[in-house]
């Protein structure tokens, strides 16, 4: 059985990943300070744990194309937000990830 790589207390299953959302900007480019109600949630995050991969029909596991510490983009409504020990994470499937940021 393949080992999962996890830096958190959450271990995702299969082709799922756990990521921590990037903090929202406090100011606009013009220097205006935004209140919490006006901030848009970023659609960018850093992967903190990955699952073992999608199971193929022959029983083998397909490795994930992302790895821990990758910065990724995802859609606004992707994944499930969870809170563990006061920290907020998003659990989503690998196919909900749109791009990896270099």
| Residue 77 per-residue DSSP state | T
pLDDT in tens, 18-49: 999 988 767 667 777 767 666 667 889 999 99
> Which one is predicted more confidently, 28 or 51?
51
> Which one is predicted more confidently, 9 or 27?
9
Q: Which fold has domain 5-101?
A: 10 Kd Chaperonin, Protein Cpn10; Chain O (2.30.33)
Instruction: Give me the residue label for tokens 């299953």.
Output: 13
Query: Which sequence spans correspond to the domains of the chain?
Result: 5-101
**pTM as predicted:** 0.76
Rounded to whole angstroms, how far apart are CA atoms 79 and 98? 12
What pLDDT is stored for residue 28 in this prediction?
67
């Amino acid at each position: 059985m393949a080992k999962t790589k996890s830096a958190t207390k959450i271990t995702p299953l299969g082709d799922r990943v756990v990521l921590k959302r990037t903090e929202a900007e406090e100011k606009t480019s013009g220097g205006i300070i935004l209140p919490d109600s006006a901030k848009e949630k970023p659609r960018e995050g850093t992967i903190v744990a990955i699952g073992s991969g999608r199971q193929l029909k022959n029983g083998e596991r397909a490795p994930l194309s992302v790895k821990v510490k990758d910065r990724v983009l995802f859609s606004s409504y992707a994944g499930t937000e969870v809170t563990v020990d006061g920290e907020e994470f998003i659990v989503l499937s690998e196919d909900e990830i749109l791009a990896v940021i270099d």
